[in-house]
Structures are given as C-alpha cells and as structure tokens.
C-alpha cells in the first residue's frame, strides 16, 4: 500500500477510535508496522508537570508508559519540542542532548526521527520513530511522520478540551479513573459580533443532521431505549409502506433492496449496537450518531464499489431514525441554563428562536463566516458571537462552561477562575459604559470645535429599524437587500420586495435610506440560486450577477422605486463595481425601470444612484466614478480583504486581517480626497467606521458620513463629541507616517485615553496564549 493509502487508513482508524488512549496505541502500532521501524513512541506534554510523558510505544518497554518523562530542556525529545521542528539523527546516542532512559530499553537503538505535534502554534507532544541500524530517515519518511503528527494534533487538542487526558501531575489517586480537565483550552475562530459571554453550552442541531448531534449523558436509560425502539419501529413502518407503494413498479430484485434496509435495522446489527451505547451512558441520539459514523467509515474504506455505496444507505437510515427521535424529543420541555451559549455546526436563524431571549448570552458556529445571516442577526441583536471555530469538538461540549470572546474570535473551554474573573470584569465595564451612553440618543455627533459628523446605520432586518432609531441614527448608509432573499425558498416577487422596502423607507422618512442592490456570491449564497465556484470572492458576485440577470435586477429596482413613492428618501447603491461599463449598464436599467413605472402611472422619481468602492481597481477610478454617479460609499471590510489578500472569515488567516494596515489607510484617504475633488458625498460602511478611534481618522480624512451597526453608534458618537476636528487631523497626520498596523491601533487607543475617552476603547483582553 502507498504511503498515501496508509495515511488515509490511519486517519479513518483514528477517527473511529473510542478514546485518546486507543488513538495513541493504534497510531504507534500502525506507524511502526508501515515504516518498518523497531520503535514508534508518542510523548505528550503534561499540562500540570510541564514534562513530556511517554504515553504510547511500540518497541520500547510497555511498562515505562505513563512513568517515564522528560523536561522540555532534556533529551532529544525535549529538543524537538523546543525547536518545534523535526530532528533526524543517524545515531541519537552521539548527540549532545541525548539522555539515556534506562527503564525504556532504548539503549540498543541508533537511528532517531522525532517530529513535534503542534496545534495552533502550541507544541502538544513529540512523535518518535527509532531503528537499530545507524541511518538517516529519508525525506518521504519524514514527510509521512509530519503528516501523521498534524492529524494527531487535532485529536489531542480535542481530548484535552473534553477532559480525556489525565495530567500525571495531578492527584488522581484519590479518585480512581477521575478525569482531570485541562483548563483554558483555547480555540480560534473569527469575530461574528462583539462582546463577551460566560455561560453553559447548549449544542443546537438541525433536524435529522447526524453530524451535529452532541454527546449527552443519559438521564433515564429506559426512556432513551424506549424512544430509540419506537423510532426504529417507525422507520421500519416507513420502509414497508414505501415498499408496498412501489411494489407494482419495481422488479423483484429492485424491491429486495427494501429488505436489505430492514435487515440493517435488526437487533444483531445497527440497532443492537445503538442499544449497547445507550446502556453505556450516551443518550439515544448520540449513540445513534456514534454507531452510524462507525459503519459509514467502515463501508467507505472498502475497496469494493458496491460495498462502499452501502455507506450512503447507512447514513440515510441514521437520518430517518434521528428524525423520529427528534420528533418524540420535541414533545418534552427543554430546560435552558440562565446563561446559555448556543453552539452549532452551522448556526441557523431558526436555532436562535429556540432559546428564550432572557437566557441566550452567546453564539458559536463551527462553520460559517462573519457575514453569514446568523452573524448579521447576532450583531443586530447585540449577542456576542464567534464564527468559524473549525477545530472545536462541539459534539462533546454539551453542558460545559465556556468563555466566548466576540472581540478576538476566541473560545475558552473549561475556563479557570482567574480567566473568568478577568472576563467578568470586562463584562461589568461593558454594562456600565452602555448605561452611560444611553443619554446621548438625542444629542448630535458634533466635535468640541463645532464640526458635525452624520452617523448612519447598516441594516438588513426589520428589527434593526427600531434599534437604530433608539440610538439616534440619522439615516441608513447600507440596507442589505439580500437578507429578505436569504430567508426565502425562492426569489421574492416585486410586490413582496416593495412591501419590505416600504417599511424601511417609512420608518426612517424623511431620513435617507441607502439600498444596496442584491449582493450575492462570495460567502453569501441563496439556497435556490446556488453559485458554486472554486474562488467565490474573485468570482461571480455583486453587480456581476445582477447585470447577467437583468430580470432580477429590474424587478428589484422597480420594487425600490414603488416603495419610495411619496417619501423620496431612497438612494440606490451598486455593489462590487470595477469599471465604468458596469455603472453605465446599471444606470441604463434604472432609467428603464423609472420610465416603465411612469408609463404605468406610478409617480416615481429617479433617486440618487451611487457605487460601493470595494475592490482595488475601483479605488483608482474613484474620481471618474464620482463624475458619473451621485455619491460614493466605501465598503471597507471587503476593500481591506482584497488589498491584503486575506479572507477575514477564514480562521486560519483571520489574524492577518488588519483594517489599520498602512496600505488600507492610504487607500481610504485617497478615495475621500478624490470624491471631494468632484464635490460628491463620500461615506463609509464597515468595521472601521464602528470603531471610535477609526471613526476619528475617517472624519479627519474627509468622509461626509459614517455608517455602522446600530449597537456601535453610541460609542462612536461619544468619541466624536469628546474630540475636536483639529485634534483628529493631527492624529491622522501621525498615523499616516507610521508603517505598522498594530502600532497604529495602539496609538489610537492611547489617544482616546488621553482625550478622556479610554472607556470607549476595545477591552484589554487577557493574553492567554
């Protein structure tokens, strides 16, 4: 078998292993056999003693497992951990760092290859192979071991978070087999909505979605078994009914497939194994997921194509049983903790409605992005949220206490008292600040030297309107029209759209409402209009989609124009514009819609039309665009992504997303200057406008309007009222001479403190790296 085949086999077996001990034992046996070495061992860094402990071996003395350990400064193993890179030696015993561990029996071995097991930059352990002969392991062997260690890292990190690893330095002797849980285990995602929450995990699942079902301890074994057997019988009845219905249309051999399904559900097959797992302590839904996953992995690994296809049958049966289990569970009252943090594989808006508002304090999505519908809804509701926490072992966290940091996109599982105290202080400060800012609602955003800065809001939901007006918004700088499209199973009609838009326009009249035309693609998709591309952010999105589908664009524009009749506060904004041709074609379509409606007797007027500057190409055409349109608006989030080549919704690189990068600031300054040369209003909607320090910079650059999430508006207003335009311009001059994003951000925080506005800076979060 090829190394790739062996690796695939190891990954499948590791995924099916019931616990970490089995994973480690299986891994060393597999590697030792496939690499034809005499020894394979795994050392893990113990959380309490901070020593590398021998946790599994094939080839050394098995009695040394759990007994032998090295400090990070001892031995070649310690050196691998220190350097965080592989060490490949022809004769380990001749290396200056070598330490002889008598109880292991390793004195006979010479060749040594050790690779670090690293998760998110943290060394968790060392994977080692050894051989009798003196030789250097070749590049393919080293690459293979590095790949295996990368797979192991995620498994070990999950085990630490869920309490599967027992640190040897703790006193476990008093309670045999007690699990000692690793505290402050951190998982990184991307910020979805700002704020901090400390609470108890509730794992949300989509109907009949096996992958998202969590493990829960069984409370009433008899009840769970009865529920499972009831669901099983219901599925059997469903299959028999379908079989009877199709009996006249199928050949006998085809109808026999239903008999195969029924046999799979027999007690000595899938059903019996699920019942065993329930008796072992897992609830029915979790036991079902475990057994189905195990069968799916086994069938998927088979060489025979017919048998491989049975994996699909097993998963289908599992979903059917789960659907009936969830239906019966739905009749039972659900009890939520007072501080519930909803965690799901992929958050959906319907999940949010399942938990009472007074108990929901935070949201976590394993997949999804900061621009997903759930994240937008969370920001609108002011619920701290983290998205894209891809490594979080969420199915094993039901009922666990976690800290959610919506500012940095971090999750801490099993937080220590010190960490809870630090974040608790941040939460108290936030509450005090929010209470103090409520008094600013009816006051203007005017600097100490009399400069007035209009503050608008970004909206997308009906609930945003009331919240925005409560906080003193003077207009809508971005209404995301795609959200009503995302909440439906088909394109909304012209009449439906007109009714939705009318509510926004009426609520804010006579204040201006800027409606962005349908902006789908990238990370915003419609279930009934899928866009499947390898690189969606550089693909078919924004104005490109709607100009290719004028029937969609015209219906939407007509709906906007009809909704604005008698109000005349509509502004239309075109997203993702890159060239003049797009502006001219879109303007032509808008003119056509105006003519058609006027001919139909609808008294519409052509509203102001503007563009969003979101791509670097548009930056350098700002002045030309300004001659052709009525206003310019900058989408700073997308613009920063494209300038920095960083997808901020990808947790792997989200740390590189820097809105205060000097290149981003220069681009923003250039846009404001170019628009002003043509005396066109220039606004900005993005995270920087919602940050008090960023708002001062943008005001100094010459932006006419700042648009932001309603929850951030009071802070920004407070910053503007506490500063002068002259001081903001002096701050901008200093910033434009700097060349480091973090240094710029720190200068903004320090400047706000000097102005007496330190309470508006982002909380200084605990550095728990």
What span, in angstroms and rounded, lies between the C-alpha atoms of 444 and 473? 10
- If you write DSSP's letter for every residue of 94-128 in order, what string do you get? GSTT----GGGTGGG--EEEEEEEEETTEEEEEEE
Rounded to the nearest 5°, which phi and psi values hold at 116? -75, 150
What span, in angstroms and rounded, lies between the C-alpha atoms of 692 and 567? 32
Strands (E), 652-745: 681-685, 705-708
Strands of the sheet containing 385-387, edge to edge, are 185-188, 410-413, 401-405, 196-204, 340-344, 360-365, 385-387, 190-193
Rounded to the nearest 5°, which phi and psi values hold at 649? -90, 0
Non-local CB neighbours of 297 within 8 Å, separated by 6+ positions: 12, 15, 16
Identify the bridge partners of residue 44 per DSSP, sorted by sequence position.
53, 125
Rounded to the nearest 5°, which phi and psi values hold at 62? -65, -25
Q: Taking each helix axis as running N to C, give the angle between helix 20-34 and helix 3-16, from 0 to 180 degrees, rounded to the nearest 10.
A: 160
The sign one gets for the Cα dihedral 748, 749, 755, 760 is positive
Rounded to the nearest 5°, which phi and psi values hold at 88? -120, 110
Non-local CB neighbours of 134 within 8 Å, separated by 6+ positions: 90, 91, 110, 111
What span, in angstroms and rounded, lies between the C-alpha atoms of 623 and 673? 9
Nearest to 387 by CA among 188, 206, 527: 188
What one-character DSSP code corresponds to residue 690?
G
Exposed/middle/buried for 411, CB within 10 Å: 0-12, 13-18, 19+?
A: buried
Asked whether the beta carbons of 453 and 727 are under 8 A apart, the reply is no
What span, in angstroms and rounded, lies between the C-alpha atoms of 112 and 641? 44
What span, in angstroms and rounded, lies between the C-alpha atoms of 445 and 706? 11
What one-character DSSP code corresponds to residue 689?
G
Nearest to 590 by CA among 609, 562, 570, 618: 609
Exposed/middle/buried for 637, CB within 10 Å: 0-12, 13-18, 19+?
A: middle
Asked whether the beta carbons of 80 and 87 are under 8 A apart, the reply is yes
What span, in angstroms and rounded, lies between the C-alpha atoms of 664 and 129? 48
Identify the bridge partners of residue 706 per DSSP, sorted by sequence position.
455, 684
Identify the bridge partners of residue 75 per DSSP, sorted by sequence position.
none
- Burial code (b: 16+ CB inside 10 Å, e: under 16) for 639-662 equals bbbbbbebbbbbbeebeebbbbbb
Residues designated as active site: 373, 685
């Amino acid at each position: 078998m090829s190394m790739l085949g062996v690796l695939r086999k190891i990954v499948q077996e590791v995924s099916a292993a019931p616990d970490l001990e089995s994973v480690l034992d299986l891994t060393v046996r597999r590697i030792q056999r496939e690499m034809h070495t005499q020894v394979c061992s795994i050392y893990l860094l113990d959380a309490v003693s901070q020593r590398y402990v021998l946790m599994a071996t094939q080839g050394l003395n098995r009695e040394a497992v759990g007994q032998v350990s090295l400090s990070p400064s001892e031995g070649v193993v310690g050196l691998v951990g220190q350097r965080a890179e592989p060490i490949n030696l022809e004769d380990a015993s001749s290396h200056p760092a070598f330490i002889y561990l008598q109880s292991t029996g390793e004195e006979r071995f010479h060749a040594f290859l050790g690779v670090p097991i690293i998760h998110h930059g943290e060394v968790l352990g060392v994977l080692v192979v050894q051989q009798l002969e003196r030789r250097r392991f070749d590049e393919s062997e080293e690459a293979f071991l590095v790949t295996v260690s990368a797979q192991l890292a995620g498994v070990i990190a999950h085990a630490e978070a869920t309490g599967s690893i027992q640190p040897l330095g703790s006193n476990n002797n008093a309670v045999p087999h007690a699990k000692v849980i690793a505290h402050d285990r951190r998982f990184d995602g991307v910020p979805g909505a700002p704020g901090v929450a400390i609470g108890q995990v509730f794992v949300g699942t989509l109907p009949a979605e096996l992958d998202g079902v969590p493990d829960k301890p069984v409370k009433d074994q008899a009840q769970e078994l009865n529920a499972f057997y009831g669901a099983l019988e219901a599925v059997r009845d469903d299959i028999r009914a379908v079989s009877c219905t199709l009996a006249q249309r199928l050949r006998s051999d085809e109808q026999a497939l239903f008999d195969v399904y029924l046999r799979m559900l027999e007690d000595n097959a899938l059903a019996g194994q699920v019942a065993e797992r329930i008796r072992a302590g897992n609830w029915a839904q979790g036991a079902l997921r475990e057994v189905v996953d195990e069968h799916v992995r086994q069938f998927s690994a088979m060489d025979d194509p017919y048998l491989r296809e049975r994996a699909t049958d097993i998963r289908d049966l599992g979903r059917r049983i789960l659907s009936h289990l969830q239906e019966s569970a739905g009749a039972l009252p659900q009890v939520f903790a007072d501080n519930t943090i909803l965690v799901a594989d992929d958050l959906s808006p319907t999940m949010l409605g399942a938990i009472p508002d007074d108990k929901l304090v935070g949201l976590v999505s394993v997949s999804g992005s900061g621009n997903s519908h759930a994240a937008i809804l969370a920001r609108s509701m002011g619920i701290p949220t983290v998205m894209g926490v891809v490594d979080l072992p969420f199915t094993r966290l039901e009922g666990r206490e976690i800290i959610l940091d919506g500012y940095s996109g971090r999750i801490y599982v099993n937080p220590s008292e010190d960490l809870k105290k630090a974040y608790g202080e941040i939460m108290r400060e936030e509450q005090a600040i929010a209470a103090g800012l409520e008094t600013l609602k009816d006051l203007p955003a005017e600097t100490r030297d009399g400069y007035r800065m209009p503050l608008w809001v970004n909206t997308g939901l009906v609930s945003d309107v009331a919240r925005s007006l409560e906080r003193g918004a003077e207009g809508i700088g971005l209404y995301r029209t795609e959200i009503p499209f995302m909440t439906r199973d088909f394109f909304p009609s012209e009449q439906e759209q007109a009714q939705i838009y009318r509510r926004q326009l009426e609520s804010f009249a006579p204040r201006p409402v800027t409606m962005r035309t349908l902006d789908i693609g990238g990370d915003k998709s419609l279930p009934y209009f899928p866009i499947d591309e390898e690189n969606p952010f550089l693909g078919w999105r924004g104005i490109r989609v709607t100009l290719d589908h004028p029937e969609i664009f015209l219906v939407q524009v007509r709906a906007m124009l009809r909704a604005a009749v008698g109000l005349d506060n509509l502004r239309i904004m075109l997203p993702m514009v890159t060239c003049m041709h797009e502006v001219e074609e879109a303007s032509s379509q808008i003119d056509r819609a105006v003519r058609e409606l006027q001919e139909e007797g609808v008294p519409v007027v052509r509203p102001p039309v503007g563009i969003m500057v979101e791509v670097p190409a548009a930056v350098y055409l700002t002045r030309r665009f300004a001659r052709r349109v009525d206003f310019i608006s900058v989408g700073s989030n997308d613009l920063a992504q494209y300038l920095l080549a960083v997808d901020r919704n990808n947790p792997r690189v989200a740390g590189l997303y820097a809105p205060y990068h000097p290149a981003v600031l220069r681009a923003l300054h250039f846009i404001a200057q170019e628009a002003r040369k043509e005396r066109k209003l220039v606004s900005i909607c993005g995270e920087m406008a919602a940050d008090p320090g960023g708002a001062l910079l943008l005001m100094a650059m010459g932006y006419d309007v700042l648009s932001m999430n309603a929850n951030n508006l009071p802070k920004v207003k407070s910053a503007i009222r506490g500063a002068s335009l002259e001081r903001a311009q002096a701050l901008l001059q200093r910033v434009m001479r700097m060349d480091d994003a973090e240094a710029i951000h720190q200068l903004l925080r320090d400047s706000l403190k000097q102005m007496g506005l330190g309470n508006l800076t982002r909380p200084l979060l605990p550095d728990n790296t």
